[in-house]
Structure formats: C-alpha cells, structure tokens
C-alpha cells in the first residue's frame, strides 16, 4: 500500500507536469495563430490602406463573397473610433491591447488586441475549447492508466508482501523454537539463492556455532557433575564405615556425621545440575502427553501440606478441576514441588502459602504465592540462574538451583514464567499454552 500510494503521488506529479506542458504548448500555438492573422491584416493595411485591411479580415473569416477559406474557431473584429465596426464576426468591444481572455455571449476567447493605426483597433481571438478538451482527454487516459497501474501495484505489493511476511514468519518461528530449547531448528531455505537465502544461511551458520558451544558447555558441566558424583559417593560410603567403627567416640561420630551431611548436599547439588542439563537438552519432549494439571497440583499440595504444618506455615490451595496441559508429568511435579518447597523454606513461621490453578480461556495458570520477605524486583531475573542466591537467603539450606530447574522445565513446556511482588511476599506464575486438539 505504501508503494501504491507513492506511485499515485508520483503519477499526480507527472500528470500535472504533462498538463502544464500540453496547456502551455497549445496556448502558445493558439497565440501564434492569432499573431499570424494580425500580421496578415497589418501587412494589408500597410500596402493598400484600411480597405485592404477590411478585405483581409473578411477573407480570413471565410466570407463566401471574398473567399472560400474557412477559419475554424477564429474570431476577428476591426473597428475604428469614428466609423465603429469595420469588419469581423464579433460585436463592438472595449478597446484593449495585449493578450487577454474575453467572454462574448458565453463564449470564451483567448486573443490579442493591437492598434494598427491611430484610432483603428484590431482584435483576433480563438476559443481555447481544444485546450480544455485535450486536458479532459489526458486526464481520462491517465485516470485509466493510474487505476490499472494501481491495481497491478497493489496485487504485486500483496504478493511481495506475503512472500516477505512468510520469510519473516519462518525466521520468527525458528527463533521461538530456539528460545524453547530446540537447538536443532534452523531457518528453511527457498533454494532461490536470493538475499533471504543468504541471510538464512548466515543465521543458520551462527546458530550451528552457538549450538555447538552450548552443547560443549552443557556437556562439560554434566561431565563434571557426573565425574564428581562418583568419588563423592565413595567418600560418603567410607565416612559411613568410619562412623560405624567409631560408634564409641561421640566426638568422632559428630564430625563424621557433619561430613556426611556436607557430602549429601554436594551430591544433591550435582543431581540438580544433571537434572537441569537433561531438561535443557530438550530430549524429554518426546515423551510429552496430554495430562491433568489439576491432579498434579493436588498431588503436590497433599504431599507438602504436612511439611508446611510441621514447619509452622499455612499451605492452602485453589485448584480448578479438569485443567489439562501437554507435558511431562515427572518434570511438572518436580517444578511444582520446587516452588512450594522454596516458599516453605524461605518464609518465616506462621507465613501463608497458596497454590492456585486457574483457567483463563484456553490457557492454564499456576501460581505459588506467599507473604514472606519476597525477592527484590531487580533480582527476579537473577534468581533463575544456576547457583544464584539472594543475600537474605544464604543462611538457609539450599544451593541456588531450585528456581533454575523451574525455569528450565517452564521453558521446555513453553510456559511463561513470571516473578512478581505479592506485597508482601513473592508470587511465581506459570502460564501454559493450551494442549493440542485431540
């Protein structure tokens, strides 16, 4: 539409230029014809006087008495101050010199007035109807041309715009797939070798390099976690044996028990790192199925209700029935459990925690809300990173991987994760896409 509008503007400029040129040319031609008639009358007057000038006017007008010459649309008036009208096909007119437009009996004339002798005035004019007719023909022709060209421009613009939109949509869809953790997605190529294919090729090469770097980094972290887990497990077993042999020494047993607890924390941390790496790899999407999110929320609620009561917190729920999503039941359960467990761990006694599941149209929304100290708004994005912990929670148990796992599972399920201020406290919201139609 923009190009069509630009074409119309340029066409208007072109039409204006053409009309001005044609009008100027025709008007100049009309004036030259008038001047030629005036020159003929003046020459006759100079040669043989006023009578010859009168005869020339009559001949020029095509009077049968003098000549069979037909002067189409030619109007002349030869008049004198003393004798009035001498010759011509116009009534007496006020004397006026130079080029001007004259209206006589609703007839428009463009002509010139001259004085061929003292007291003798000559006017020669022609109707500019041909100029108006030419202008109308030009406008009519240009109107059809512009209409046809505009239709063609709109059709071609829509075709090109649709092609452009399709390529942009393909790039956008690929970016969305990549954002969801599907690193094997690439921008399709049309095979035409145009600038879009060159752009797609460059982006795909960049994505290949990024995917390789991400895979290497993920593999390194997984390998480190896996390799360290084995010696830690052996060390824990040896510590258990040492505690069994030193059962009679309370001091040694306490030290060994503390070492075992530290080892268990390290093993738990490595298990969480491996779990996050597996989720981010995206391989679990192959096992996705339509499942009841309502049942999963109820299961997690019932599982943590006694835990919350024992710790002095109040856990309540508001779970809508019959809400289904597409996903992995084990991962979703782990995600919900992490959210509720974090709320229990990082809120003071007598805090209130609420697990909610609502349906908004065809989308499911899960939220875990508490009235604890919350998380500063500037750190909402940071707490989703691995091993990041808010300063006021460093004294509590944990290793900063709970919300990182939640973020990884949410990304895998294409759920929008939002952290917001509950005033007071923190509210974590997950918005799920509707499951595919059966």
> Of all residues in the chain, what percent carry a pLDDT higher than 70?
79
pTM for the structure as a whole: 0.47
Question: Per residue in 278-317, pLDDT tens?
Answer: 666 655 667 788 899 999 999 999 999 999 999 899 999 9
> Cα separations (Å) of 4 from 9, 46, 141, 268?
9, 62, 19, 65
Q: Which two tokens stand for residue 178?
A: 């990549």
Q: What angle do CA 83, 85, 88 make, to 5 degrees?
A: 150
User: Residue 431 in contact with residue 414, Cβ under 8 Å?
Assistant: no
Q: Cα separation of 2 and 184, whole Å? A: 38
Q: Could you report how far apart the first and last alpha carbons of the chain are, in Å?
A: 40
Poorest-pLDDT segment among 12-26, 42-56, 259-273? 259-273
Question: What sign for the dihedral angle of Cα 60, 65, 67, 71?
Answer: positive
Q: How many CB atoms lie within 10 A of CB 339?
A: 24
Contact call for residues 218 and 279 (beta carbons, < 8 A): no
Mean pLDDT across the stretch 179-188?
Answer: 74
The mean pLDDT of the chain is 80
Tell me the two tokens of residue 395: 């004294």
From residue 263, give the alpha-carbon distance in Å to each of 226, 229, 236, 315, 323: 14, 10, 6, 31, 41
Mean pLDDT of 234-259: 69
- Domains in the chain, ordered, with CATH? 2-133 (3.30.450), 195-281 (1.10.287.130), 286-432 (3.30.565.10)
Distances in Å between the Cα of 55 and the Cα atoms of 59, 60, 376, 428 are 6, 8, 108, 108
Residue 123 dihedral angles phi and psi, to the nearest 5° = -125, 130
Residue pointed to by tokens 């100079």:
46
- The predicted pLDDT at position 266 comes to 64
pLDDT of residue 225: 60
Which pairing describes strands 314-319 and 352-360: parallel, antiparallel, or unpaired?
Answer: parallel
Q: Give the pLDDT confidence score for residue 114 in this predicted structure.
A: 92
Rounded Cα distance between 338 and 408, Å, is 12
User: 33-77, pLDDT tens digit by residue?
Assistant: 888 889 988 998 888 888 888 888 888 887 544 433 344 578 899
So what's the pLDDT on residue 68? 39
Q: What is the pLDDT of residue 190?
A: 78
Contacts of 312 (CB under 8 A, 6+ apart): 349, 350
Q: Band of the pLDDT at 386, cuts 50, 70, 90?
A: low
SS (H, E, C) the chain: CHHHHHHHHHHHHHHHHHHHHHHHHHHHHHHHHHHHHHHHHHHHHHHHCHHHHHHHHHHHCCCCCCCCCCCCCEEEEEEECCCEEEEECCCCCCCCCEEEEEEECCEEEEEEEEEEECCEEEEEEECCHHHHHHHHHHHHHHHHHHHHHHHHHHHHHHHHHHHHHHHHHHHHHHHHHHHCCCCCCCCCCCCCCCHHHHHHHHHHHHHHHHHHHHHHHHHHHHHHHHHHHHHHHHHHHHHHHHHHHCCCCHHHHHHHHHHHHHHHHHHHHHHHHHHHHHHHHCHHHHHCEEEEHHHHHHHHHHHHHHHHHHCCCEEEEEECCCCEEEECHHHHHHHHHHHHHHHHHCCCCCCEEEEEEEEECCEEEEEEEECCCCCCHHHCCHHHCCCCCCHHHCCCCCCCCHHHHHHHHHHHCCCEEEEEECCCCEEEEEEECCCCCC
Q: Give the pLDDT band of residue 173 (cuts 50, 70, 90).
A: confident
């Amino acid at each position: 539409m923009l190009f069509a509008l630009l074409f119309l503007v340029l066409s208007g400029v072109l039409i204006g230029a053409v009309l001005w040129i044609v009008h100027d040319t025709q008007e100049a031609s009309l004036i030259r014809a008038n001047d030629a008639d005036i020159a003929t009358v003046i020459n006759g007057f100079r040669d043989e006087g006023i009578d010859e000038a009168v005869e020339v006017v009559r001949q020029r007008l095509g009077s049968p008495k003098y000549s069979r010459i037909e002067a189409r649309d030619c109007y002349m008036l030869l008049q004198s101050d003393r004798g009035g009208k001498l010759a011509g096909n116009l009534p007496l007119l006020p004397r006026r010199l130079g080029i001007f437009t004259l209206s006589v009996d609703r007839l428009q004339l463009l002509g010139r007035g001259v004085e061929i002798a003292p007291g003798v005035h000559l006017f020669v004019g022609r109707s500019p109807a041909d100029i108006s007719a030419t202008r109308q023909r030009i406008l009519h022709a240009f109107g059809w041309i512009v209409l046809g060209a505009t239709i063609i421009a709109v059709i071609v613009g829509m075709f090109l715009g649709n092609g452009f939109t399709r390529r942009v949509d393909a790039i956008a869809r690929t970016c969305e797939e990549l954002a969801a953790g599907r690193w094997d997605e690439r921008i399709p190529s049309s095979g035409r070798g145009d600038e879009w294919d060159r752009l797609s090729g460059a982006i795909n090469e960049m994505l290949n390099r990024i995917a390789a770097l991400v895979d290497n980094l993920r593999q390194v972290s997984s390998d480190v976690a896996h390799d360290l887990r084995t010696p830690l497990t052996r060390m824990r077993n040896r510590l258990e044996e040492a505690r069994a042999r030193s059962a009679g020494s309370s001091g040694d047993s306490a030290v060994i028990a503390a070492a075992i607890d530290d080892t268990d924390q390290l093993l738990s941390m490595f298990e969480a790192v491996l779990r996050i790496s597996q989720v981010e790899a995206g391989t679990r999407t192959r096992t996705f199925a339509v499942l009841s999110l309502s049942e999963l929320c109820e299961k997690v609620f019932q599982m943590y209700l006694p835990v919350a009561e024992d710790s002095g917190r109040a856990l309540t729920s508001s779970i809508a029935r019959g809400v289904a999503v597409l996903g992995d039941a084990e991962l979703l359960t782990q995600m919900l459990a992490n959210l509720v467990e974090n709320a229990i761990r990082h809120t003071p006694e007598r805090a209130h925690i609420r697990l909610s599941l609502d349906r908004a149209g065809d989308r499911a929304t899960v939220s875990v809300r508490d009235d604890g100290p919350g998380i500063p708004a500037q750190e909402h994005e940071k707490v989703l990173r691995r091993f990041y912990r808010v300063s006021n929670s460093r004294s509590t148990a944990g290793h900063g991987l709970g919300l990182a796992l939640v973020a990884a599972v949410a990304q895998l399920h294409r759920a929008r994760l939002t952290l917001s201020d509950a005033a007071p406290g923190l509210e974590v919201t997950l918005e799920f896409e509707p499951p595919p139609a059966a």
